[in-house]
Chain A
Amino acid sequence: MNGLAQAQAKASVAPVPLGLYVHVPFCASTCDFCAFYQMQPTADGVERFLAGIGTEAAMVDWTRPVTTVFWGGGTPGLLAPRDLARLADTVRARCGGAPREWTVELAPASVTAARLAALREAGVTRVSLGAQSFQPMLLDALGRQHSREQVHRAYERIRAAGFASVNIDLMFALPGQTAEEWAADVREAVALAPDHLSTYCLTFEEDTKLWVKLSQGRVKLDLEHEAQLYEATWAQLAAAGYAQYEVSNFARPGHVCAHNLNTWHMHEWVGLGPSAASQQAGVRGANIADLEKWLAHVGRGERVTEDRVRLTPAALAEDALIFGLRMNAGVDLATWRARAPEAPWPLVEDMLATLAGGALLVREDDWVRLTDRGRLIADTIGAEVMAAFEPITETA
């Protein structure tokens, strides 16, 4: 087992960390694969968004200081330096001190020295750069509005600004992409020496341009090819000194993304902004994915209006397994047995034993984690976990 990841997982059990996610719903244009809630920015839209965040933040029951902050989107980096500072002020007012980790997602085309300075000034510690690819053809195929040179320039500026941690996002299994082209992208990213790498296999989300192409048969799925790319990526990054800690995430020692770990461990987080999800005080849910409607909700003093569910300890245990098994460190069953003794553990144990028998899962005392082969089919395994917990879900 990856000792570092295990230690982190254990450590995070102590006082429950609290994450803060802010969804900035503005993008310059829409990428072909994107299913996130986003729109073209207008001066008025940004203004009302920032005001809305302030109102919503004031509605949250902040029981303790936030430990991690994540600004995603959308493209938070599209906001003007002045607006970034304003958003940061709102956030800081709620943090109760400097968060341990504060990430902001940036798109290569909008990385400027002024914005970076504003973010550094505000206390941002981590930047995530959405490069996706270095190949012009593929960038074009994804509908991305930046060039290879822009990625390099943006990275240099980010490094120059002196953030504690930098991530690069890449995507693979793009239509027409060969294994060699992908390996070259990984090499080019590694050569930049980021602290963290996220490599996402392209997913076809409903209501995206790519989905339309798929349903029209203009692009094809090849699961074997995808599996091979996964395996090649894992090997290539391990050799380059990046330890995998989740299906799509790799870090140099000390650089895992604490904010994401927090959610996968089923701790608590507050989400602000349209479409942002929250999990706090036994309730999970999301804000409505529409700027105007969200503003109206917030104006009426309502938030987390969508997909609201009350979380029982057993339901949390179920999700901790589903999401925990996606991580290389795996899950500590003892912790969850203690928190949710009423969960159907005998059924869960049967299921885990079956997975172990098929070399999909490894068990060491009360720690369970997936093998590489298991991690490649983590969705099926997640569905198995759900099935094992079903007696509880059905009566809950």
Chain B
Amino acid sequence: MPAKYTRNFCIIAHVDHGKTTLSDRLLEHTNTVAMRVMTAQHLDSMDLEKERGITIKSHPVTMTYRAKDGHNYKLNLMDTPGHVDFSYEVSRSLAACEGAVLLIDAGQGVEAQTVANAHLAFGQKLKVIPVINKIDLPSANLELCTRQLEDILTIPAEEAILASGKSGIGITDILEAVVARVPPPRWTEYPQTRALVFDSLYDSYRGCIAYVRVFSGTIKAGETMVLMSTGQKAEVKEVGVFMPKMEKIASLGAGDVGYIVSSIKNTADVKTGDTITNGARPATEMLPGYKEVRPLVFCGLYPLESDDYEKLKAALGRLRLNDAAFVYASESSLALGFGFRCGFLGLLHMEIIQERIRREHDVEIISTYPSVIYQVIKQGGEEISVDNPVNMPDPGTILEIKEPTIRASIIIPNDSMGDILALIMEKRGTANHTDTLDATRVMLHCVLPLNEILVDFNDRLKSVTHGYGSMDYELGDYITSDLVKMDIMINGDPVDAFACIVHREKADGRGRQLCEKLAEIIPPQMFKVAIQAAIGGKIIARDNVKEMRKDVTAKCYGGDISRKRKLLDKQKEGKKKMKQIGKVSIPPDAFIKVLQNN
């Protein structure tokens, strides 16, 4: 099929606006997935995605569609995640496309990631097809949505398609619009082969599998390929497409989206954003790559059993291959032994990676309290970066500490303004200005310290706006703040893994909250356990873990010895799943739990 009959597009939207559900309908309509094997949110193939009902990674799929003009078209679709933590996945997918279907939930209207993702698509000069989705909802407000399209996104309202992924409304309209409005693949005339690596995956049998969008030329098994950023050569072993399962084909051509299995085993060698070319006739200019994503949030991850260190290391290596935004380096802790400092894009990202380590790689881990990167200027002018509170120098040697901020755009209903301003104030932020979006909503631009939004900002935002508030953000400047290191002590001993950096004025409240929450999360212990928060040795808050009261089984006679032993054995194994710090058993996910509200 010539490239002029190929269309590459992604579906973008705010979280939960129905991208994956709409993709289901497209897969069905094009008979890409047989009805008998179809599942809801089919492209969310990871267990975690299915369980949580959210998309974490972009998923590519190739469909064939017979358009009303009588031609068969090859449509390469990418379903993208909506959550702000994964916006880099969206930009990577956009780079492999010429068009984007932008969904707007008819019941919610334009939200923060609608705006952010639309701007990403405009920035990459993609054709944007606006779709007002979920029109089956009783709360659907089409008039509001079309007005917001024009006012906020400056997209002419008549371009909008009305659809419902759930009821299957508007599916043909969308497919026809993709054919008609999205331009055919660009840069196909370039004289040499060039393919963009937009993702990769580690397979234990086949090694590293690169996900590529071919812009020009062809790629087939037996050829020599070159990774242009490093010049590394490899043999192409297999190429194929996503149906959405990987299916081997003879060759990939210009405009195609597919995968390459090569002789490269090492996960670190294939970087997303790299350009692959042909070894015999190499290109000289790389395709535009990606802006490197930098992690914003850091925490220590340690194996629960120290024997699992190597296993954890291997797991991190593999996850990193699929996830350029995730970084790690080895570190050690007095309380937890040898482990890794890991960087993430946000808390959801952190939670997901931890969960994947546990599930997909079968390593039990414990994580420390998350931190951002602080810039510390010491007496004498030396400047250091601190991503682990334990490494915060002695207060006497510090001239000033700078913390990262974010520039946030928050979309809220007008009547929540007062509450949001109070929330921003509480979080040490400053509101800059507001844009009126329409009669009922405004977009508020503000600057907030990153460490303040880590904990519960999003939940609070949702609660004061009754679910209608949403936020997008990007990293802002570093600002000087009055920050201190807070130690958490268990029965009087500071536990390095629990240390955190807080603003001096908020230390008391934060300390109290942390102690209280820890006391609640740590299960009742055999002995009295005091949890204290301290700053520079001065106790600012304390709480006690509950003491076990009663667990003895009443009846126990001769016949029961084997049965009773089984019961105790279970109890013993349960305890092994916890981390022993001093004499206290701490659940490995204690810190994720501390951060989760209610």
Contacts and interface: CB of A to CB of B under 8 A. Distances in A.
Given A276-B559, A277-B562, A379 B553 contact: yes
B583 A380 contact: no
B561 A319 contact: yes
B550 A376 contact: yes
Best-buried of B527, B548, B564 by chain A (most CB within 10 Å) = B548
A19 B558 contact: yes
Contacts of A275: 559
Nearest to A247: B552
Contact of B558 (A202, A271, A375): A271
Contacts of A319: 561, 565
Nearest to A354: B583
Interface residues of A, number: 54
B298 to A, nearest CB: 34
Interface string B557-580: 111111011011101100100000
Contacts of A326: 552, 556
Q: Which 6 A-B pairs have the closest CB atoms?
A: A263-B558, A277-B559, A358-B527, A227-B550, A383-B571, A378-B552
A376 B554 contact: no
A260 B567 CA distance: 20
A224 B575 CA distance: 22
Nearest to A21: B558
A166 B526 CA distance: 37
B568 A379 contact: yes
A223 B549 contact: yes
Interface in B143-183: none
A386 B569 contact: yes
B554 A200 contact: yes
A383 B575 contact: yes
Interface string A180-218: 000000000000000000001111000000000000000
Contacts of B571: 379-380, 382-383
Contacts of B551: 223, 376-380
A176 B564 CA distance: 27
A279 to B, nearest CB: 7
A311 B295 CA distance: 56
A394 interface: no
23 contacts: A200-B555, A202-B554, A223-B550, A247-B552, A276-B559, A279-B558, A285-B562, A322-B564, A358-B527, A360-B526, A375-B552, A376-B549, A376-B551, A377-B548, A378-B551, A379-B568, A381-B526, A382-B571, A383-B571, A383-B575, A384-B526, A384-B572, A387-B575
Best-buried of A264, A375, A382 by chain B (most CB within 10 Å) = A382
A235 B385 CA distance: 62
A380 B558 contact: no
Interface residues of B, number: 27
B568 A203 contact: no
Given A275-B559, A382-B564, 16 more contacts: A19-B558, A202-B554, A203-B553, A227-B549, A230-B550, A247-B552, A277-B560, A285-B562, A322-B564, A323-B561, A358-B527, A375-B552, A378-B552, A379-B567, A380-B548, A382-B568
Interface in B518-570: 526-528, 548-562, 564-565, 567-569
Given A379-B567, A379-B571, A380-B526, A323 B556 contact: yes
A121 interface: no
A46 to B, nearest CB: 21
B568 A376 contact: no
Given A383-B571, A383-B572, A386-B572, A377 B558 contact: no
A67 B551 CA distance: 33
A380 B549 CA distance: 11
A290 interface: no
Given A224-B549, A323-B561, A248 B554 contact: yes
A248 B569 CA distance: 22
A354 B548 CA distance: 15
Interface string B58-85: 0000000000000000000000000000
Nearest to A259: B558
A284 interface: yes
A203 B561 contact: no
Given A322-B568, A383-B575, A284 B561 contact: yes
Contact of A387 (B562, B567, B572, B583): B572
B530 to A, nearest CB: 13
A127 interface: no
A221 to B, nearest CB: 10
Contacts of A83: none
Interface string B241-272: 00000000000000000000000000000000
Interface in A270-322: 271, 275-277, 279, 284-286, 307, 309, 319, 322
A65 to B, nearest CB: 18
Interface string A243-269: 000011000000000011011100001
Given A226-B550, A376-B552, A377-B551, A263 B557 contact: yes
Nearest to B555: A200
Given A224-B549, A307-B562, A360-B526, A201 B567 contact: no
Contacts of B555: 200, 203, 248
B120 to A, nearest CB: 48
Contacts of A230: 550
A91 to B, nearest CB: 16
